[in-house]
Amino acid sequence: MAALDITTYLVPGKRAHLVGIGGVSMAPLAEVLHGTGMIITGSDAHESATVEHLRSIGISVSVGQRAENLGDAELVIRTAAAHDDNPEISGAHTRGIPVFERAQAWGAIMRHYKNALCVSGTHGKTTTTSMCTHIIMAAGLDPTVMIGGTLPLLGAGHRVGHGDTIVLESCEYCNSFLSFFPTIAVILNVDADHLDFFKDLEDVEHSFRAFADLVPEKTGLIIANRDDKNTMATLKGETRPILTFGLTEGDVHTENLTFHKGLPRFDIIYKGEKFAHIELQVPGEHNVRDALAAAAAAISLGVSTPAVEKGLAGFQGAGRRFEKKGVCNGADIYDDYAHHPNEVKALLETAMGLGYERVICAFQPHTYSRTKALFDEFTQVLAVPHVTLLAEIFAAREDNTLGISSKDLAAEIPGSEYYPTLKALTARLRELAQPGDLILTVGAGDIYTVGEALLKE
């Protein structure tokens, strides 16, 4: 049987039910489809501010997942975490209602845009997509945007615009970005991650190469990190146009890079000439690379120098990306979404260079499979801070069939402490906090609630 084409279903008046509608990429999808005149309903596992917001614009959302929530839906769109045994998915199959993946819906939407800028990479996607958004907004291009985190500029993780440009954070997990139609594909880096889905690094590289190959052969463009050997290996033999970026080499690179109070200042060189002077409001070399990627994307869209300078100068970080939460007992509290060892390493290197007397890192590993697969890398990077506290692993979409715990990490990290509950971890951080400390809550789960709890009392 031929695969159904989702584009024939995404038309005004059609009824779509979204399973997991409260998710970071499902909620904006619901809004975009609602805005086109479709009748949208959805369900989520629990109440949230996002669910409330969707209801406020006229989208009916049920909490808890039951087959009867489908109502008279003509199609179902599901989050990657909703499997065939989900009661709504199995109910749709039973009733013959077509079920599509979230990424297929975004792919169908982006075909209506002249420019589809898709930002991929194992790390840095949210920050780079956010930087691109700042620049493109500064250029007045009125973009539609989908980011996997909250951007203060938008007050959300998405924006529904009326221009001819769409900017999407593009995730490799479950090969979801292979449903996209990029005209510009950014590859920030390629690392072994999501090893509950990919077999190994080679499998990840294969996926990213397939993503790059989605770009139109003559009119499209791949923007690639020249400093990342895995990215360059992935693109070996690629015949589509490639624009590279890198700290000191590449089509787009820096000169005169200095750090003022931890914040980077540099010139962007393009085709051997100075294109822009950048003063970032976010610290760290990794943010310089992300800014170069965003500038390369902007150059390829024909954006002017002043818009690039203004856009990057106005970027103060995305939600949960080295985000300042406040002060507790004189200690600065920051939160970050880092959950792969390379991300944690970049974060801690930045933090250790900011001049604090102590850096205290409270880390919550994300998924059992990632913790097990990257165990040795985690123990190495988490030995860097002055104090490391470990929360129990955040299960996310998994059951603990591997019998692994954060206690195992703590046993291998000298001086670290393990806390089975976030409440106990919060109490310990309150005891430790003093002036001169930088306290980092780190991870992709609910560790951010610890920082919020510290500020409440």
User: Looking at residues 297-308, what average pLDDT do you find?
Assistant: 98
Q: Residue 228: what residue type?
A: D
pLDDT, averaged across the chain: 94
What count of Cα atoms within 13 Å lies in the side-chain half-sphere of residue 455?
Answer: 15
Is beta strand 144-151 parallel, antiparallel or unpaired with respect to 184-187?
unpaired
User: Looking at residues 428-457, what average pLDDT do you find?
Assistant: 94
Residue 243 tokens read as 């624009």
Is the separation of the CB atoms in 402 and 369 below 8 Å? Answer: yes
- In sequence order, what E strands does 10-164 have? 15-19, 39-44, 60-63, 75-78, 99-101, 115-120, 144-151, 156-159
Sheet of strand 263-270, all strands in order from the earlier edge strand to the far edge:
156-159, 144-151, 165-169, 115-120, 184-187, 221-225, 242-246, 252-260, 263-270, 273-279
pLDDT, residue 92, reads 97
Is beta strand 242-246 parallel, antiparallel or unpaired with respect to 273-279?
unpaired
Residue 363 tokens read as 């880390």
- In the three-class reduction of DSSP (H, G, I as helix; E, B as strand; rest coil), residue 420 is classed as coil
CATH superfamily of 113-313: Mur-like, catalytic domain (3.40.1190.10)
- Give me the percent of the chain exceeding a pLDDT of 90: 82
Q: What is the spatial distance between Cα 118 and Cα 309, in angstroms, rounded to a whole number?
A: 21
pLDDT, residue 135, reads 98
Is the separation of the CB atoms in 55 and 79 below 8 Å? Answer: no
- Residue 152: pLDDT above 60? yes
| Apex 144 CA angle, 14 and 139, nearest 5 | 155
The DSSP H or E segment spanning 292 is helix 285-300
Q: How confident is the model at residue 107 (pLDDT cuts 50, 70, 90)?
A: very high
Neighbour count for residue 329 (Cβ, 10 Å)? 15
- Give me the percent of the chain exceeding a pLDDT of 70: 99
User: Looking at residues 33-39, what average pLDDT do you find?
Assistant: 92
40 beta partners: 16
Q: Do domains 113-313 and 323-456 have the same CATH topology?
A: no
Q: How confident is the model at residue 396 (pLDDT cuts 50, 70, 90)?
A: confident
pLDDT, residue 163, reads 93
Using the 8-state DSSP alphabet, how is residue 67 labeled?
G
CATH superfamily of 323-456: Mur ligase, C-terminal domain (3.90.190.20)
Q: What are the domain boundaries of the chain?
A: 6-104, 113-313, 323-456
User: Looking at residues 159-164, what average pLDDT do you find?
Assistant: 89
CATH number for region 6-104: 3.40.50.720
